[in-house]
Structure 1
Amino acid sequence: MYQDHYGLTDRPFQLTPDPRFWFESATHRKAMAYLGYGLAQGEGFIVITGDIGAGKTTLVAHLMETVDPQRLTAVRLVSTQADADQLVALVAQAFGVGGGAHDKAALIDRIERHLVNEARSGRRTLLIVDEAQTLSLGALEELRMLSNFQTGNQPLLQIFLLGQPEFRELLQQSDRLEQLRQRVIATHHLDPMTANEVEPYMLHRLARVGWAGNPDFEPAAYDAFFSHSGGVPRKLNQIAGRVLLAAAVEDRTVIDAALVDSVASEMDGDANRPRAAAENEPRLRSASVTPLRAEPAYDARLNAIEARQDELESSLRRVLGLLIDWVESDAPLRSDRSRHNAA
């Protein structure tokens, strides 16, 4: 692995979100500001959207690292394509009050009592719903209803919704979500990093795993990284990891733009091969020519080739065995000759 070759303590560009590698780009700094504002309000919805790989999950992981569990109970729910009833069951399970109950009314009652108990203990409750674009309109409406819980004038539940760009469009355009829109107190879309943020991002992650300057990076390499990743953190991590692996294989101490371009082109080729195979498959199925493998003559030739290959491999093994025997038998003679010459 390249981290051993370069003396790193871990993989700096792993794809699994890890709060250790949190990097505050301009767009992530703005997102954290909105999250902080939302937490200060203690009510309603905060909506964060971004393309795949933009860093939404890393943002959540960083947020979870910063909250005080004595004052705030934060629960994360990775949603699936759930309807309203399933959503209620998922929320109850996330709060640890599901208890095998299947009746929706009973589950809602349990959720409310749990939220009241948390408030009486001096803790606010935050529900973070990831992949919100997979939720049905009914499930989103159910979340709005849950956000209405309060004791006196104190809201019992605050909700952060994180999703891909289509969720942002759904929230803006759907007439059925008007009441939920009115409860959104802040929203932010995570943009890709800018070109001048790629270098500090990469150096930050490398520094977290003990990088001491080997390998070094030419300035043009960072431009190539940005060009091929578009500034999307996950894409950048994918390319950077493969580049470091290629550099380790070639025992490089400096990474240049040519290596980044070469690795990125290779990755594009790997990604396009399955697509090309899928596009060609219908043509192969519809072809009127009988596949060669079905011809008896082809099978006979193939069997003959395989038999000849086995014969050649057997002959090669015999020759290698004779060479090994000859070398081993000659070793004592060479040793005796050396001692005689020395004498």
Structure 2
Amino acid sequence: MYLNFFNLSEMPFTLTPNTEFFCALEPHHEAMQVLTTAIDMGEGFIKVTGEVGTGKTLLCRKLLNQLEPDYIVAYLPNSYLSPEELRWAIAVELGMDVDKALDQQALTQLINHYLLDLQEDNERVVLLIDEAQCLSWETLEALRLFTNLETESEKLIQVVLFGQPELDEKLANNKVRQLRQRISFSYKLRAMTDAEVIYYINHRLQVAGFNQPPLFSNNMGLKIARASRGIPRLVNILCHKVLLQAYGEGLNKITTRHIQLAIKDTEDCAKYRTGQYWSYSAVAISVFAIAAIWIWRQWL
């Protein structure tokens, strides 16, 4: 793609939650502090919510990597589970060797005994659940019952929930008021400010190996910040499209026109209005140009 063209060692704006690109801006730094403090204190339920694309999964992966040396961590990236599937998933994540023919009561007892054994060995267990807004009422109740397991001084398992704002709406229901009361720490991720977006763009480029004068001026970063509403995922999408367009045109400098085209091509962005309207897709043009160059080289 455009790695060599811009002297990059890796793609800077991919949507994969790569913890190497973690940017400790105020919201994410504060969230990590809340999470690590609550886990160190042995709290039962901890919750982090945020709009789509604000970096919850990256935060979850960052926490996972940070905890693993000192804790036994069970990570469930897919929360669309029945109570039965939840129990099996926990057993698998804990590394338990269990008979698949076991009924649910026997499986629950085995998990309970296993957690007790771990506690006797001074091992602490943390369960991380991403996309927790997808948990059903029945699965939320099964999860609450797991946290009933405790000694006189501490919980046998701690649960961290990462979810969209719909999770807050679900937990506000009286059906799960017992679980809601057990959430001792919570944090709501906000979108980035304009200044944070500018810093975020430059940070990701530097991590990707870029060491030349800034590709994006502050004014360009401001346009991206406004169009993306400060949502990291949209910032990544816009910046990737901008670099793709410049590369397709053989330009090693970013222009305002590239940003305008990227914004117009991205459905979930606040459209950047100018007196000029484009009737074609910026990305389509760039991809066509890149394909044409590739085909031409094949015939050489």
User: TM-score normalised to the size of structure 1?
Assistant: 0.74
Deviation of 1:79 after TM superposition, in Å, equals 3.2
The letter for the 2-side match of 1:57 is T
The letter for the 1-side match of 2:76 is L
The letter for the 2-side match of 1:250 is E
Rounded Cα–Cα distance in structure 2 between residues aligned with 1:8 and 1:117: 49
The letter for the 2-side match of 1:90 is A
Deviation of 1:84 after TM superposition, in Å, equals 2.2
**1:120-199 alignment runs, 5 A limit:** 120-172=120-172, 174-199=173-198
Rounded Cα–Cα distance in structure 2 between residues aligned with 1:99 and 1:23: 43
In the alignment of these two chains, the number of paired residues is 267
Rounded Cα–Cα distance in structure 2 between residues aligned with 1:140 and 1:200: 38
The letter for the 1-side match of 2:146 is L
Q: 2:33 aligns to what?
A: 33
Instruction: Name stretches of at least 5 consecutive residues in structure 1 with no aligned partner.
Output: 270-343
The letter for the 1-side match of 2:144 is R
Q: 2:47 aligns to what?
A: 47
Rounded Cα–Cα distance in structure 1 between residues aligned with 2:154 and 2:250: 62
**1:187-336 alignment runs, 5 A limit:** 187-213=186-212, 216-268=215-267
Rounded Cα–Cα distance in structure 1 between residues aligned with 2:33 and 2:143: 24
Instruction: Name stretches of at least 5 consecutive residues in structure 2 with no aligned partner.
Output: 269-300
Structure exhibiting the larger radius of gyration computed from Cα positions: 1
Rounded Cα–Cα distance in structure 2 between residues aligned with 1:205 and 1:211: 9
| Seq. identity, % | 33
Write out per-residue CA displacement over residues 247-304 of structure 1, whole angstroms, 9 at most, x where no aligned residue. 11223232233321112213339xxxxxxxxxxxxxxxxxxxxxxxxxxxxxxxxxxx
Aligned partners of 2:74 and 2:90 also within 8 Å: no
Rounded Cα–Cα distance in structure 1 between residues aligned with 2:120 and 2:18: 33
Deviation of 1:85 after TM superposition, in Å, equals 2.4
Deviation of 1:64 after TM superposition, in Å, equals 1.7
Structure with bigger helix share is: 1
Q: 2:110 aligns to what?
A: 110
The letter for the 2-side match of 1:16 is T
Aligned partners of 1:125 and 1:156 also within 8 Å: yes
Rounded Cα–Cα distance in structure 2 between residues aligned with 1:206 and 1:158: 36
- The answer to whether residue 16 in structure 2 is matched with residue 16 in structure 1 is yes
**Change beyond 3 A, Cα 1:80–1:181:** closer
Rounded Cα–Cα distance in structure 2 between residues aligned with 1:246 and 1:4: 15
- Runs ≥4 in structure 1, deviation > 6 angstroms? none
**Change beyond 3 A, Cα 1:104–1:259:** same
Rounded Cα–Cα distance in structure 2 between residues aligned with 1:266 and 1:155: 49
- Most deviating of 208-217 and 129-138: 208-217
Deviation of 1:7 after TM superposition, in Å, equals 1.4
Write out per-residue CA displacement over residues 89-117 of structure 1, whole angstroms, 9 at most, x where no aligned residue. 22222223244144111111121122122
Rounded Cα–Cα distance in structure 2 between residues aligned with 1:86 and 1:5: 47
Deviation of 1:152 after TM superposition, in Å, equals 4.0
Aligned partners of 1:101 and 1:107 also within 8 Å: no
The letter for the 2-side match of 1:204 is H
Rounded Cα–Cα distance in structure 1 between residues aligned with 2:176 and 2:236: 36
